[in-house]
Amino acid sequence: MNFADSEIVSAILTKEGYSVSKNIENADYILINTCAIRDNAEQRIRKRLRELRALQRQRGWVKIGILGCMAERLQKQLMEEEENVAFVVGPDAYRNLPAMLTRIQQGERLAETLLSESETYADIEPVRYDTNGITAYISIMRGCQNYCAYCVVPYTRGRERSRDPQTIVNEAKGLVEKGYREVTLLGQNVNSYHWRSESGEVGFPELMAMVAEVSPLLRVRFATSHPKDLSDELLQVMARYDNICKCIHLPVQSGSARMLKLMNRHYTPEWYLGRIEAIHRILPTCSITTDVIAGFCSETEEDHQATLDMFRQVRYDYAYMFKFSMRPNTYAEKHLKDDVPDETKTRRLEEIIALQGQIALENNQKEIGKTYEVLVEGVSHRSDKQLFGRNSQNKVIVFDRENACPGQYVTVTVTRCTAATLIGKIV
Ligand code: 5AD
Ligand code: SF4
């Protein structure tokens, strides 16, 4: 989401005559787009700010701005604590940046952090930079109001709002014309995408179909689905279009019914497993990935075992695994205790990581001998004689170059694997 937002910021400033510098040493303004989801994300930014002091001394004139969720969370306080920060801009205030920079140039220090109920940056065509020219993100909605007990996002990104579907389709068409072959539709909870206008209503399944119709050459992905809202209707639309990728990211967060209730997730383990069953039934080739948190408030060994059991049952293809980090202002901070000792959180996280590593390897071993259509994304990092790409299930496949080039679809048979990568051969 931050990556997509940076492209919007880039578009807003490019229109006013600014340009993106490839080299930080030449930049007049350094904009740092930040995350606030866990404390370590914020600590990394603090460290980065300290490192940038040397550059500032050397250059004399360079202004640093903090964008995104950490800016929204801390507002003016951030400028008080970090004296080398000249400006702070929240996620709904990026349109103000050109006017702000004019004042900052004259020596002012400014914070703009008003959240909006309607801003979707729908009319802004993002300036893609640092891109492979093949895959791109399209932001389809902003904000979240699910208020999971551990999560800071509803406070830093504000109310949920959906973007006009026609502007989304137009953005996808523009990307296809420029040679892009894959888009990922982004939102905190894409299943609750909902657009109302005089000509009718558009929900997420219809939106997916509209984007899939743009071109059969364009692959469509999405992130993230909240399990409580994952409908059969969406799965059926996914089944209907070959170019909608068969991969679902379905954050489970915990396998324990008690934890899920405390987390305010609005589903039980049984209900979640029911959704997994629906995915297998309607989309037999679909891969499933997840997010999980180890050591949430009051988590017992038994709760932790329930999470491991969930991983054994679902057998995820990939998981983003985190230690719980208490965030200011959340329900957890106000009403619960961060009472799982750090060593216990670390040990539980390591157990989840070890189990998932084993499962991912076994899942990949089952892929050996299978043949997939792969969208070539670029030259392999290991060897320029090899290319890499992804199959519909979002698995990375590396293979000998032969005559293929990035942007093409090729058919690849898997011959070997590691836990993270499939290795194959063009057929
Ligand atoms: N501590 C740890 N992980 C968190 N996440 C969200 N908030 C926290 C927190 N306070 C994780 C969730 C979410 C992912 C984006 O980040 O797993 O799905
Ligand atoms: Fe945070 Fe929950 Fe919203 Fe995801 S759905 S952004 S975890 S509040």
pLDDT in tens, 193-233: 999 999 899 999 999 999 999 999 999 999 999 999 999 99
Q: Tell me the pairing of strands 396-400 and 386-390.
A: antiparallel
Helix (H, G, I), strand (E, B) or coil at 101: helix
Res 423 pLDDT > 90: yes
Res 339 pLDDT > 90: yes
Q: Which residue's C-alpha comes closest to atom 12 of ligand 1?
A: 291
Band the pLDDT of 59: cuts 50, 70, 90: confident
421 Cα–ligand 2 center, Å: 29
CB 294 within 8 A of CB 321: yes
Q: Is 187 in the pocket of ligand 2 (CB under 6 A)?
A: no
Res 403 pLDDT > 90: yes
What is the model's pLDDT at position 179? 96
- Looking at residue 2, what DSSP letter applies? H
Share of the chain above pLDDT 90, in %: 97
Band the pLDDT of 130: cuts 50, 70, 90: confident
pLDDT in tens, 159-198: 999 999 999 999 999 999 999 999 999 999 999 999 999 9
The closest alpha carbon to 272, from 223, 238, 314, belongs to 314
User: How high does pLDDT run on average in the chain?
Assistant: 97
Question: What's the whole-model pTM score?
Answer: 0.96
Q: Pocket residues for ligand 1 (CB within 6 Å)?
A: 37-38, 150-151, 251, 253, 291, 293, 322, 324-325, 327
37 Cα–ligand 2 center, Å: 10
Q: At what angle do helices 232-240 and 269-282 cross, to 10 degrees?
A: 20
State which of 145, 153, 225, 322 you would mutate to test the pocket of ligand 2, scoring each by most atoms of that ligand within 8 A of its C-beta: 153
